[in-house]
Amino acid sequence: MDLALQRVSIHGHEVGFRMGGDGPAVLLIHGIAGSSETWRDVMPALSEHCTVIAPDLIGHGQSAKPPGDYSLGAQASTLRDLLALLGVERATVIGHSFGGGVALQMAYQYPHCCERLVLVDSGGLGREVSWMLRLATLPGSEYVMPVLFPAFAREAGNSVSRFLGSLGLRNEHVAELWSAYASLTEAASRQSFLRTVRSVMDPGGQSVNAMDRLYLGAHVPTLIVWGEDDAIIPVAHAYAAHQAIRSSRLEIIENAGHFPHVEAPTRFVAAVVDFIQTTQPADLGTEDLRQLLRDGASGIEEDRGSQ
């Protein structure tokens, strides 16, 4: 199934998205310097079981790239509004890398929209992250990036990629990294990239951490999927999140790096479909959230008292 790009205006800004299939809604959120294209290998199979919605986040892909707020909260708000415009009340929210942080934020801000949560090599679960991303937070990096990402490199690299593909030498992990690099040869994308990175990182690593709020996920079915060989966000974050969300499932994919949905799409789809079919969707109301917050506060006080 070819899920063609569609467009809708949200608060005056164009948002691109792909949608297709039938069944329970699944919202796919890509990472930094990515787009809905990152889900190309899993969308057809998922759409056989679900209604798949894969947006281009603001500042990415074919969506608008205005100056402004690129924080997790701002992206989550836009996705809530996108679902409302599409007539989708609730969805299983799947987020990869930075998109995982957006998914966590969405589940926190708008629990009524989130039936299940799937975190794929997710950000927001620890300090450690690749030094390449941390460099982008340094002062003056905006002046260096045009040199590192010249426009002429995009077409040259695409030609090499097509040639290697014709020889059957395509490496999916490298291809995904190249796609991110190619997007940064455009000035507007570079500016959006820097705003996005600096909203969640500093030179020391990730500056936004959801670990202190993961107890709220106890009543939201959660699947954690991670590439065992991830060199961008370490797999240790997956184990830590799994321990913090006691009811969560953990799927470590061997011989995969930061993009398990691209590197092992069949296994990824099987894990997600099984997760959706064998769990009951969350239905968290205001009173439920209030009680969870009270229980969490009590637990914190008990921990302090035992120190």
Q: For the chain, give every domain's residue range.
A: 5-128+206-305
Euclidean distance between CA atoms 98 and 122, whole angstroms: 6
Ranking 33-42, 109-118, 138-147, 195-204 by mean pLDDT, the lowest is 138-147
Digit-coded pLDDT (tens) for 27-77 = 999 999 999 999 999 999 999 999 999 999 999 999 999 998 999 999 999
Burial 179-200, CB ≥16 within 10 A → b, else e: bbebbbbeeebbbbbbbbbbbb
Tell me the CATH number for domain 5-128+206-305: 3.40.50.1820
* Average pLDDT value for residue range 80-89: 96
Over residues 128-137, mean pLDDT: 94
Categorize the per-residue pLDDT at 185 as very low, low, confident or very high, splitting at 50, 70 and 90. Answer: confident
pLDDT higher than 60, residue 297? no
Residues 160-186 have a mean pLDDT of: 67
Q: Which residues contact 109 (CB under 8 A, 6 or more apart)?
A: 73, 76, 77, 80
Q: Does the structure show a pLDDT above 80 at 14?
A: yes
Question: Residue 152: its pLDDT value, please?
Answer: 60
Residues annotated as part of the active site = 97, 230, 258
pLDDT at 304: 39
